[in-house]
Amino acid sequence: MAKRNLNRRQQWRIQKIQQERLARAKKKQGHLADSLNNLEAIQYHALVISHFGTTLDIEDRESGEIVRCALRQNIEPIVCGDHVVWQHIKNLPSGEQIQGVVTALEKRSNVLARPDFTGQMKPVAANIDQILIVTSPIPELNEGLVDRYLVAAELSGITAVLVLNKVDILSAQQKASLQQRINVYQNIGYSFIFTSARTQHGLDSLYQQLSEKISVFVGQSGVGKSSLINALLPDARIKEGNVSEATNKGIHTTSVSRLYHLENSPVVSSASVIDSPGVREFGLWNIDKNDVIHGFVELQKYAQHCRFRDCKHFNEPDCGVLNAVREDKISQQRFESYHRIINSLN
């Protein structure tokens, strides 16, 4: 995976552009400052459904109503799945879309974060039970990306489940060769669900996995995250994109994460899924090198047998990890992937 090296000047420019964008958005919402002095006293609780620009869609806990809100300044970034406190704006002019202001963020049980292209960690979703890492034959399964998602999941303490979508386009031969690569993950203990949003194959298993939980769908652009949610919940009518024939890559159709409830489905009594924008790569990553091993569960297990406490599992004698690789208890690919991530953290 290409590591994106941004020089200081490029980083400075990106930050400047972001600041300007933010300033423009704030100006546009100039009336918000007035609204803040004009709030009804009563405070309500809500679940965040989507957050775009300076606007949020929230679902009121009591009424279940979706309310479009502005965000009080100086609150930390809010994401899908967050629990928030909101207040109505008094004396709204008719036709005003923004009905309330989100005034506080409630404590999170967890947050899935990933680095943006400047290397800063950005929250993606909060209070989630599991991450579904969606992969496909086209765009091709990318183990480097899967491993980075697994590290993010393990470090956030969130269960990760893998999905191989678009099984309808696999020939028997392709299936066999992909299965070998999938075995690597099944052998470590991760579940893989095989689906086709097109033929509905595997949707029952997917339903079962989602039942009674809040899940976030992540993965490369074009693997079919939105298509799967549309297949599970036709009412969602989420826009689906193409996969470029020239590059076999997605075209980044979903630009904003959004939470959907599947409770009307015949099988699931209650389930919520968050559709998220696809990624192309996982950029730079400012996490501690010493933490990466916790994201590679099988390496961590064997690292307990290393002779040296500060073993780098590279060429040390009596290294539990190296021994396990030699004995085929750890896959060479996962071992290399671990070192690639370590080397990318400088």
Ligand X SMILES: Nc1nc2c(ncn2[C@@H]2O[C@H](COP(=O)(O)OP(=O)(O)OP(=O)(O)O)[C@@H](O)[C@H]2O)c(=O)[nH]1
Nearer to Mg ion, 128 or 311 (CB): 128
In angstroms, give the least distance from the CB of 151 to Zn ion. Answer: 18
Size, binding site for Mg ion by CB under 5 A: 4
Tokens 């996490």 — which residue? 287
- Cα gap 14→117, rounded to integer Å: 9
**Integer Rg of the chain from CA:** 22
Angle separating helix axes 172-188 and 332-344, nearest 10 degrees: 70
Mask for 194-223, x = binds ligand X (CB under 6 A): --xxx----------------------xxx
Evaluate the CA torsion angle 195, 200, 204, 207 in order and state its sign.
Answer: positive
Task: State the binding partner of 319 from Mg ion, Zn ion, ligand X, none, CB within 5 to 8 A by kind.
Answer: Zn ion
Q: For Mg ion, which residue of 254, 272, 331, 337 counts as binding (CB under 5 A)?
A: 254
Q: Is 50 in the site for ligand X (CB under 6 A)?
A: no
Torsional class of 219: left (φ above 0), alpha (ψ -120 to 50), beta (otherwise): left
Q: For Mg ion, which residue of 226, 230, 265, 331 counts as binding (CB under 5 A)?
A: 226
Q: For ligand X, which residue of 121, 277, 297, 344 counts as binding (CB under 6 A)?
A: 277
Single out the residue of 261, 257, 176, 187 nearest to residue 217, CA to CA: 257
Q: Is 242 in the site for ligand X (CB under 6 A)?
A: yes
Structure tokens belonging to residue 215:
């899940």
DSSP 298-343: HHHHHHTT-SSTT--SSS-TT-HHHHHHHTTSS-HHHHHHHHHHHH
Q: For ligand X, which residue of 100, 123, 224, 295 counts as binding (CB under 6 A)?
A: 224
Task: State the binding partner of 168 from Mg ion, ligand X, Zn ion, none, CB within 5 to 8 A by kind.
Answer: ligand X
Instruction: Return residues touching ligand X (CB under 6 A).
Output: 165-166, 168-169, 196-198, 221-227, 240-243, 250, 252-254, 277-278
Instruction: Return residues touching Mg ion (CB under 5 A).
Output: 225-226, 253-254
